[in-house]
Amino acid sequence: MVRIRFFRALQDEAFACVEAMPGTLLLDVARSHDLPLHWRCGQGTCGTCRILLEHTQQPALFTPCARERNVLKRFGFAASTEPVWPDRPDTWRLACHVSVGSEDMDIRLPEA
């Protein structure tokens, strides 16, 4: 099991700490624990489930799927449509496209 801590924007203390199986989508983790991660479509088209993600393997690179990349670009949360992006704590992601990995994660929700 992987430990996932959830933070609100601009707060230093986690409001929730849960465990999840690797491979589970972060949106499903939040929904199953009734956490306040906003979402509408659950398919990566609306952009409301955006998060900031921090884990021990950063900084690194990752390849977002075309839908996640295009949605984040369209709503102004990504500057690039390049196929490979930096995996850093300030890179927006969509929780409906991010799977739990093998290491603990910190998730920061955007300001409401």
Residue 51 β-bridge partners = 93
What's the confidence (pLDDT) of residue 64? 94
* pLDDT cut 70: percent of the chain above it: 99
Average pLDDT of every residue of the chain: 94
Residues 35-82 have pLDDT tens digits of 999 999 888 889 999 999 999 999 999 999 999 999 999 999 997 888
Q: Write down all domains in the chain, each with its CATH number in brackets.
A: 2-108 (3.10.20.30)
Contact (Cβ atoms closer than 8 angstroms) between residue 64 and residue 92: no
Q: Considering the entire predicted model, what is its pTM? A: 0.93
Q: Is the pLDDT of residue 106 over 90?
A: yes
Q: Is the pLDDT of residue 112 over 80?
A: no
